[in-house]
C-alpha cells in the first residue's frame, strides 16, 4: 500500500461548482499535513496547512480525519484560475520523512 | 516567507555533458534539502535527500554516481547530472524546510525548478 493515496481525478467542473479532494495516508504516526497546488510546468506552491480542527482560507477548506486517516480539500465557488494539480503532503513524526500524493488534476470549465 | 531559489531555470545541453543545478535557501538555513524529478504529466518523484556536511541519501533506483549531490553549506545544495542523456530530460525541483526539519509544522518550500533538455 502506498504511504499516501489521492483521488485519481481528473476533475472537470463548471465554474462556481464545489469540488472536494481526498487524500488517505497509511501511517498513523503522521504528524503534519499540507495541500499544495502545482500549475503546469511550475513548481508546487503551498496552498494551505491542514490543522486537526480543520481550517478555512477563503473558498478553501481543509480537514483532517485522524481516525480514518485522511485529509480533504474543499473548494467552493470554483474559479477558472483554480485549474491546477493539487498535491497532498504528509510528514511523519521524524520530521524528514514525507510523502506526496500523486496529485489530482482539476479543470474548471467556463 | 521562506524562499528557495533554484538556478538555472532551464538548460539545454548535448548528450554526454554534465549539468549542475543549484538550490539555495535564501532566508533560512536548511540542513536538509530534497531533490525531485518530474516527467510530463507524472507526479513528483523524490530522487535524494541532501544532508549538509554528509552524504546524500538516494532513493531506490536513482544512480548516485550519475546524480551527484553536494550540500556544502547550510544554504546551498547542488545536483550535477553527469554524462546527461536524452532520457534525463526532465523537470528537476529542489525543496527545503525552514527549521531544518525540526519543526513538524514547517511546510516544504520548493525552488522554481529546472527544465533540462538533453539533445
What the block records as the C-alpha cell of B119 is 539533445
Q: In the prediction, which pLDDT does A99 show?
A: 83
Q: What is the biggest distance separating any 2 CA atoms in chain A, rounded to whole angstroms? A: 44
Look at A95 and B101 and tell me if their CB atoms are within 8 Å.
Answer: yes
Q: In the prediction, which pLDDT does A29 show?
A: 80
Q: In the prediction, which pLDDT does A1 show?
A: 62
**Each residue of A7-59: pLDDT tens digit?**
878 999 999 999 999 999 998 887 889 999 999 889 999 999 998 899 999 99
* Intra-chain end-to-end CA distance of chain A, in Å: 37
Residue in B6, B49, B108 nearest the CB of A89: B108
A102 compared with B7, residue with greater pLDDT: B7
**Each residue of A45-101: pLDDT tens digit?**
999 999 889 999 999 999 999 999 999 999 999 999 999 999 999 987 665 677 888
Residue from A35, A31, A59, A60 nearest A46 by CA:
A35
Q: Is the peptide bond before B8 cis (omega within 30 degrees of 0)?
A: yes
Look at B115 and A93 and tell me if their CB atoms are within 8 Å.
Answer: no
Q: In the prediction, which pLDDT does A18 show?
A: 97
Q: How many CA atoms lie within 13 A of A17 on its CB side?
A: 15
Does B7 contact chain A (CB < 8 Å)? no
| Nearest-Cα residue of chain A relative to residue B90 | A41
Answer yes or no: are the C-beta atoms of B7 and B22 closer than 8 Å: yes
- From B83's Cα to the closest Cα of chain A, the distance in A is 24
Between CA A35 and CA A88 the distance in angstroms is 5
Look at A31 and B93 and tell me if their CB atoms are within 8 Å.
Answer: no
Answer yes or no: are the C-beta atoms of B112 and B6 closer than 8 Å: yes
CB contact residues (below 8 A), chain B span 51-70, against chain A: none
Between CA B28 and CA A47 the distance in angstroms is 20
**Residue B27: exposure state from Cβ atoms within 10 A (0-12, 13-18, ≥19):** exposed
Q: In the prediction, which pLDDT does B52 show?
A: 86
| Nearest-Cα residue of chain B relative to residue A102 | B43
**Chain B positions in Cβ-Cβ contact with residue A46 (cut-off 8 Å):** 107-109
- From A50's Cα to the closest Cα of chain B, the distance in A is 9
- What is the DSSP pairing of strand A45-50 with strand B67-73? unpaired
Q: In the prediction, which pLDDT does B78 show?
A: 96
Q: In the prediction, which pLDDT does A102 show?
A: 87
**Each residue of B10-69: pLDDT tens digit?**
999 999 999 999 999 998 888 889 999 999 888 888 999 998 888 899 999 999 999 999
Q: In the prediction, which pLDDT does B30 show?
A: 87
Between CA A88 and CA A23 the distance in angstroms is 7
Q: In the prediction, which pLDDT does B100 show?
A: 47
Between CA B51 and CA A87 the distance in angstroms is 25
- From A94's Cα to the closest Cα of chain B, the distance in A is 8
**Each residue of B98-119: pLDDT tens digit?**
764 455 577 889 999 999 999 9
Residue in A32, A100, A102 nearest the CB of B104: A32
* Residue A72, strand partner residues: A22, A63
Between CA B103 and CA B16 the distance in angstroms is 41
Amino acid at each position: 500500500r502506498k504511504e499516501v493515496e489521492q483521488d485519481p481525478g481528473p476533475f472537470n467542473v463548471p465554474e462556481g461548482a464545489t469540488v472536494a479532494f481526498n487524500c488517505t495516508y497509511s501511517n498513523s504516526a503522521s504528524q503534519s499535513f499540507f495541500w499544495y497546488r502545482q500549475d503546469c510546468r511550475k513548481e508546487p506552491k503551498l496552498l494551505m496547512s491542514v490543522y486537526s480542527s480543520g481550517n478555512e482560507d477563503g473558498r478553501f477548506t481543509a480537514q483532517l480525519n485522524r481516525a480514518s486517516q485522511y485529509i480533504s480539500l474543499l473548494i467552493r465557488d470554483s474559479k477558472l484560475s483554480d485549474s491546477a494539480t493539487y498535491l497532498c503532503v504528509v510528514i511523519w513524526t521524524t520530521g524528514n520523512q514525507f510523502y506526496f500524493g500523486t496529485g489530482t488534476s482539476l479543470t474548471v470549465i467556463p | 516567507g521562506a524562499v528557495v531559489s533554484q538556478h538555472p531555470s532551464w538548460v539545454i545541453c548535448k548528450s554526454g555533458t554534465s549539468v549542475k543545478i543549484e538550490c539555495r535557501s535564501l532566508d533560512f538555513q536548511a540542513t536538509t534539502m530534497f531533490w525531485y524529478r518530474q516527467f510530463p504529466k507524472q507526479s513528483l518523484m523524490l530522487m535524494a535527500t541532501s544532508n549538509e556536511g554528509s552524504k546524500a541519501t538516494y532513493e531506490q533506483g536513482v544512480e548516485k554516481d550519475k546524480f551527484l549531490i553536494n550540500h556544502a553549506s547550510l544554504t546551498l545544495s547542488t545536483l550535477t547530472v553527469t554524462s546527461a542523456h536524452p532520457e534525463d530530460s526532465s523537470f528537476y525541483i529542489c525543496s527545503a524546510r525552514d527549521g531544518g526539519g525540526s519543526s513538524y509544522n514547517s511546510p516544504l518550500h520548493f525552488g522554481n525548478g529546472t527544465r533540462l533538455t538533453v539533445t
